[in-house]
Amino acid sequence: MTTKPLPSLTPTGTCWCGCAKKVGTGSYFAPGHDKVAEAALLAVEYGSSVAQLLHGHGYGPGHSVSARAVSEGVWQKCHACDYVGAPASIANHTKKAHTIAEQAQAAER
Q: What is the pLDDT of residue 27?
A: 97
Residue 85 to residues 47, 60, 71, 78: CA-CA distances in angstroms?
Answer: 26, 17, 12, 8
Q: What does residue 22 show for φ and ψ, rounded to 5 degrees?
A: -75, 140
Written as tens digits, the pLDDT of the chain (109 aa) is 566 799 999 999 999 999 999 999 999 999 999 999 999 999 999 999 999 999 999 999 999 999 999 999 999 999 889 999 999 999 999 888 887 666 667 677 6
Residue 34 to residues 26, 42, 58, 90, 96: CA-CA distances in angstroms?
Answer: 14, 12, 24, 23, 27
